[in-house]
Amino acid sequence: MTSDENNPSPEDSSRKRSASALHTGPRKKATSSNPIVLHGRHFGRTVFALCNFPALLTAGILRLEELQDSSIEDYPADIRREHGVFMNVIDSYPGLLDRLTRGEEEDIIHVGELLGKGASGARGDDTKTLKSAVLEWLVPRGQAVIPPLSRNIKSDRGFNHEVTGALLCPAGLDWSDAETKQSLKSGETAVCGDQWPMFLYAGYRYDPEDPWKGLLRSEILIFGFKHVFTSPSSVDKEPKATRSGNASLHGMKSVTPGSLAYIATQARRFDCTCSSSVFSRTDTVTDSENFYHSILDLLEDPDESEEVADLMTWWTRRIFPNSSSSQRPISKNSALSKIREKRAALQELAAADVN
């Protein structure tokens, strides 16, 4: 099995997005079940998929020294974001910061390579399983894709097929228009990664007056998320897996912006007309890295925090219904609701007495 293992030049990691640590490095073979590799698999799926980990760690450690005399707010936005990802890596793996600060540069790079092995290995594994599974989700259960799609032939997918073409058609364009359809098929209309396809929307319907409506709530995304994080069998709501899914293994109890952007990018691979086997910076046909970044940019935009919070709650309730993060409302007239009402009344009375 091959995967993207990151081994960049640290000097080029800080300023430009094209050379940022938040982009993948060169590809190498990867094998290991090292705990850092396993952590890299989960981190790539849930926080940031396309990190150049050796550069990220090297630059992050140096930046920690700089921040003793300055504030992170003094840095450009791209560096602040990169540092946020670095701190997420550090905070999510106990003892990692101490190991990195005590080690030599070679040790930092080695840890980064292990994380990179995990992240890129997970991408490859998920692409391999999803590219076939997603073909079952293109139409409602019980219906057939017409004409049938072959699991081994790529040329009949993408805009070359009526069903996949309609789902991949950028929101705002009309797939039913013959001229638009032909332009997309021929490549005359180039589709950039930030032109989001219809399959991201609930019911595959886009409202130009309310572009948030239904965004990232489609059935394909729900199936893809369950397939990767809870188990392939959970897609049918009748789990048959004999071992815990990825979410359970890593104590994941809520959906994250990174995990949603990851699944959207992986699910988009059902077009599969290009030769690239996984989404990466070298995939110029589907522009998957730009697609991934554009979704993550939206989900991390402070100005969109209200819509994003609502979206994350919606997702967590569907994927982890028993989690406290689901924030389900308390049933009216239940014992619990009465206890909460009584407690609130007592607190209000106590506050009135103080005043």
Q: Per-residue pLDDT tens for 204-217?
A: 999 999 999 999 99
pLDDT on residue 44: 97
- Contacts of the segment 139-143: beta carbons below 8 A, 24+ positions apart: 139/163
> Per-residue pLDDT averaged across 306-312, rounded?
97
Q: Tell me the C-alpha distance between 25 and 94, whole Å.
A: 25
Which segment of 3-17, 56-70, 111-125, 227-241 scores lowest on mean pLDDT? 3-17
Q: What DSSP string describes 40-64?
A: HHHHHHHT-SS--HHHHHHHHHHHH
pLDDT on residue 144: 84
pLDDT range class, residue 118, cuts 50, 70, 90: very high
Q: Could you identify the residue written with the tokens 């995967």?
A: 3
What are the tens digits of pLDDT across the range 250-295? 999 999 999 999 999 999 876 654 444 454 444 445 589 999 999 9
Percent of the chain surpassing pLDDT 70: 80
CA-CA-CA-CA dihedral for 21, 27, 31, 33, to nearest 10: 20
Which segment of 14-23, 63-72, 191-200 scores lowest on mean pLDDT? 14-23
Q: Does the pLDDT of residue 233 top 90, yes or no? A: no
pLDDT on residue 334: 84
What are the tens digits of pLDDT across the range 167-180? 999 999 999 999 99
Nearest to 82 by CA among 57, 116, 118, 107: 57
Q: Of residues 112 and 20, which shows the higher confidence score?
A: 112
Q: Of residues 36 and 349, which shows the higher confidence score?
A: 36
Q: E-assigned strands of the chain? A: 2-4, 27-29
Q: Give the type of residue at 106.
A: E
Q: What is the mean pLDDT of the chain?
A: 84
Q: Does the pLDDT of residue 26 top 60, yes or no? A: no
Q: What DSSP string describes 70-106?
A: S-GGGS-HHHHHHHHHHHHHHHHSTTHHHHHHHS-HH
Q: Of residues 72 and 333, which shows the higher confidence score?
A: 72
pLDDT on residue 7: 35
pLDDT range class, residue 2, cuts 50, 70, 90: very low
> Token pair of 81, please?
């974001």
Percent of the chain surpassing pLDDT 90: 59
Phi, psi for residue 2 in degrees, rounded to 5: -110, 155
Q: Of residues 236 and 315, which shows the higher confidence score?
A: 315
Q: Give the type of residue at 225.
A: F
> Per-residue pLDDT averaged across 123-137, rounded?
90
pTM: 0.79
pLDDT on residue 79: 95
Q: Of residues 333 and 250, which shows the higher confidence score?
A: 250
Q: Of residues 142 and 92, which shows the higher confidence score?
A: 92
Q: Of residues 59 and 4, which shows the higher confidence score?
A: 59
pLDDT on residue 81: 94
> Token pair of 168, please?
């991949």
Which segment of 66-70, 271-275, 303-307, 313-317 scores lowest on mean pLDDT? 271-275
